[in-house]
A and B are shown apart, each in its own frame.
Chain A
Amino acid sequence: MKKIIALLIIILFTSSSCEKDDICDANTPTTPRLVIDFYNISNASVLKNVTNLKVIGDGMTEGIVFNSGASGDAQYLTNGSSISIPLKTDSNSTKYTFILNSGNPNPTLIDIDEVTFNYTKEDVFVSRACGFKTLFTFVPNNPYIQTAVPITKGKWMQVISVEKSNIANENETHIKVFF
């Protein structure tokens, strides 16, 4: 009899010590970023690497970190052919400044374009741990507004093509930029 009581008490004390398991798994698809791929304007099917591209959000002082391993200004620069940038989840538009050849000592080589992305958003439930995520849909009429800085200079992004108007995950290219 005492054994049974002891057993019950052991079960009781061990099972009541469970802890919260509310950590959002990093592999869970949550709010997707906008995926932009860069292509060669003279050969539209070939990816083209950018040189020292820096992307800064409107009103922000620091750029998006593309190279977290580097230190100083280098972490904001990318030389790849694809970038992923986060859109604002509390606004229907997000403005970014794309600076090509950022940090180049010769200012005439630095090209700056400003692009405002216009979209509608939808909040979708994910799980207890992750909460909600936001999915975006580009506004059909004017998904983006592009201006060169200064405006007299030509736009370095010569063609911007919206490939996917629904931004639901990061596994596909949403926008192609030709330069």
Chain B
Amino acid sequence: MKHTLKYFFSFCLLIVQVLAQAQETTETKTTSEKKESVSKIPEAPKVVTAKIDTIVPVKKDTIVPVKKDRYGVRVGVDLYKLTRGLYDSNYKGIELVGDYRLTKNYYAAAELGSENKTTEDDRLNTTTKGTYLKVGFDYNFYENWLDMENIISIGLRGGFSTFNQELNSFKIYDANPYWGELPWQTSGKSYNGLTAGWAEVVTGVKVKVYNNIFVGFSLRMNMLLFDKKPSDNFENLYIPGFNRTYAGNFGAGFNYTVTYFIPLYKKTIKPKKSVKK
């Protein structure tokens, strides 16, 4: 978990830098444009008296930024799950992520994953294996400048998982340890055919770093809607995709992704706002 946090934080910082850089460059562009326009203004009155033609290119300048939104499919993987297996011997997992742009701000989004996780609690050692699918949408509330395609989104997912749990070993809780420390007992009992469904609220960021390659992270708050518990004498301690279960049916998760955008078609945006102004 410490490793996880360390990598997570370092990634957050990286993202923050990328965001900051992205903003700085565009800001300098706009400021330079402003400077140009400012520097042009004092010249203008002089020219107007001589040539009237110069007005025409000025008009063209206002029309030039014809915004075209690219529509397509974005596919990728969750790097966190992929790399965790390298340093955590108790974990193997993969998550494929994808989204499809429906309208200007709405994206259909899905995650498909598989996990194999051994959890070592103080008195329980369990292994959970299973697959999951999350389907939903993201709403991008980030207003991009020019041809930027960054996303800051909030979204919803419905998640479903089928999985098995195996109780490897356990300890008896003894509030009165007169007979000495109790040893771990091996069990090996497996509980198959378990299912769970939940809803997720997702906040996420995706930043275009190079051509069609995006990096992003998302934070998820999960609410368990239903789960098929083991038939007797046990409960679902970990659900693939949902993560660790807590008493109040709440869970949390995150991912950081690298995705590739496959453009399919373009739509021109009519600059409605500039017309109104």
- Chain A positions near chain B (C-beta within 8 angstroms): 1-2, 4-5, 8-9, 11-13, 15-18, 21-22, 24, 26, 30-31, 33, 57, 60, 64, 84-86, 88-90, 123-126, 128-134
Tell me whether A131 and B233 are in contact in the complex, defined as CB-CB below 8 angstroms, given that A18-B252, A86-B178, A89-B182 are known contacts. Answer: no
CB distance from B108 to the nearest CB of A (A): 22
Beyond the given A86-B174, A132-B172, please list 9 additional residue pairs across the A-B interface where CB-CB is below 8 A: A1-B142, A22-B122, A64-B178, A89-B182, A90-B182, A90-B183, A125-B233, A125-B234, A131-B173
**Closest chain A CB from B253 CB (angstroms):** 11
Q: Are B176 and A86 in contact (CB under 8 A)?
A: yes
A57 and B254 contact, CB distance less than 8 A: no
- CB within 8 Å for A8 and B179 given contacts A24-B173, A128-B124: no
| Whole-angstrom distance between the Cβ of A8 and the nearest chain B Cβ | 6
When the two chains form their complex, are residues A133 and B172 in contact, meaning their CB atoms are under 8 A apart?
A: yes
Alpha-carbon gap, A133 to B174, bound state (A): 7
Contact: A131 with B16, CB < 8 Å? no
CB of B250 to closest CB in A, whole Å: 11
Instruction: Say whether B73 faces chain A, with CB atoms less than 8 Å apart.
Output: no
The prevalent SS among residues of B at the interface is: loop
Which chain A residues border B205 with CB–CB below 8 Å?
A: 8
Provide the bound-state CA to CA distance between A124 and B173, in Å. 10
**How many residues does chain B have at the interface if contact means C-beta atoms less than 8 Å apart?**
38
Q: How far is the CB of B267 from chain A (nearest CB, A)?
A: 23
Contacts known (A64-B178, A90-B182); A13 close to B12, Cβ less than 8 A: yes
Q: Which residue numbers of B lie inside 8 Å of A, CB to CB?
A: 5, 8-9, 12, 16, 19, 23, 121-124, 141-143, 152, 170-179, 182-183, 185, 203, 205, 219, 233-235, 237, 246, 252, 254
Query: Which residue of B has the minimal Cβ distance to A88?
Result: B179
CB distance from B188 to the nearest CB of A (A): 13
User: Which residue of chain A lies nearest to B180 when distances are taken between CB atoms in the complex?
Assistant: A60
B122 touches A31 (CB 8 A): no
Q: How far is the CB of A16 from chain B (nearest CB, A)?
A: 6
Closest to B232 in A: A125
Residues of B within 8 A of A33 (CB): 176
Q: Complex formed: what's the CA distance from A124 to B219 in Å?
A: 36
- CB <8 Å contact, A131 and B178: no
Residues on B with C-beta less than 8 A from A60 are: 178-179
**Bound form: Cα–Cα A89–B182 in Å:** 8
Q: Are A16 and B121 interface neighbours, CB within 8 A?
A: no
* Chain A residues whose CB sits within 8 angstroms of the CB of B203 once the complex forms: 8, 11
* Residues of chain A lying within 8 A (CB to CB) of residue B16: 5, 9
A89 touches B172 (CB 8 A): yes
